[in-house]
Structure 1
């Protein structure tokens, strides 16, 4: 495991959260690959922390299904197989499609402006681009959409899937041309929302997810 400069850790009550954030982002950006074993001793040295906060962070990531704890081996970065990816995209399309439909129907002018700002930020990040920043920017878009959908349960369910969804987003962004396609699809969805075309917005959102699925599955199949 290569050494990497780490931010200075903060107060004890925030230590677990800092470790958790670092590990989550390391998985998202590919530093820790699917199937890779994480060695506690090496992580403690890298992060300059003791084992208790590290183990708390590992348990949290296990709950998010980003890690699996293998007997006699320890924590291993989770691998999404093609069947699991298809199931997750199917659930995303169903729930996000409905959320976008409801946002187009219910959102007020301030919420639509907030959505436009987050999409503008995504376009700005795409010019760099940086995978972590792109994922953060796209998460902000969905925070606005879900927050304005009027359905707290869908928001709760999708937030619970966020880490695995971001893992698949990172996979789909691995295809170079996918980013430009994704931006165009999101722009179309926003245009439908602004026009208060709820059904058209749903269709645009579901098409965006379907195209992301095709890109991610292509990358997963090529890695088999």
Structure 2
């Protein structure tokens, strides 16, 4: 039913430019610490300087971009302490949501989760990490809303840009591109069986494994 109610609308020029620049930072086309030169961005994206500035300001609010004194803006770095804290917050919020989802999910939710997991795995197999990340966000949004964790999802959304950067980092390893979808499949099995404790345990393991890779690579 949820898919039937979705209505697509054309993206504005700013929305398209923002998504393009965010994806470029997430996939490290622009590296942490690299300066963002407005003129170069205008030329490469085919948009005005006003649009570029609006995009940069938006990404600054997402903590993907930082202002540099007398040098404009640069791609933000994520410190070791920030990585640790982000995974701590994710573990607290996501595992609670997965547990609640397992208690409430019906067959339709399970079917949609399986479909999303399949699409995620296909994207990662093709090394299309950016599309895989967007599908992963849909996957977790369904889990949070099914579990009734709307406030928690609001908090996750505020971190989502940095979460996606760390996910992209961990998915740079072939092992994680395989193991990640396997963990999601096990999580769905537990949700389907309404085994909330097992679903939570799998979620903890999934995030612990990802965190270890992120610590090594960041």
* Paired position in structure 2 for 1:183: 181
* Unmatched runs of 5 consecutive residues or more in structure 1: 1-10
**How far, CA to CA, are the matches of 1:36 and 1:176 in structure 2?**
26
Residue 217 of structure 1 corresponds to 215
Distance 2:42 2:131 in 1: 26
Partner residue in 2 for 1:7 = none
Where structure 2 has 5 or more consecutive residues not aligned to the other structure, the ranges are 1-9
Match of 1:127 in 2: 125
User: Could you say what the CA RMSD is over the residues aligned between the two structures, in angstroms?
Assistant: 1.4
Counterpart in the other structure of 2:68: 70
For 2:206 and 2:16, the matched residues in 1 are separated by 33
Q: Distance in 2 between matches of 1:166 and 1:87?
A: 15
Normalised TM-score (structure 2): 0.92
Cα distance in 2, alignment partners of residues 123 and 50 from structure 1: 37
Other structure's SS at 1:76 match: strand
CA distance in 2, matches of 1:213, 1:151: 23
Distance across 1 between alignment mates of 2:27 and 2:170: 12
Counting matched residue pairs gives 209
Deviation at residue 23 of structure 1 after TM alignment: 0.4
Counterparts of residues 11-26 of structure 1 (less than 5 Å): 14-26=12-24
Please state if 1:162 is matched with 2:160: yes
Give the conservation status (yes or no) of the 8 Å contact 1:125–1:137. Answer: no
| Correspondence for 1:4 | none
Q: CA deviation at 1:125?
A: 1.8
Alpha-carbon displacement from aligned partner over 1:106-157 (angstroms, at most 9, x marks no partner): 1222112111111111122232122212212222211211221212101111
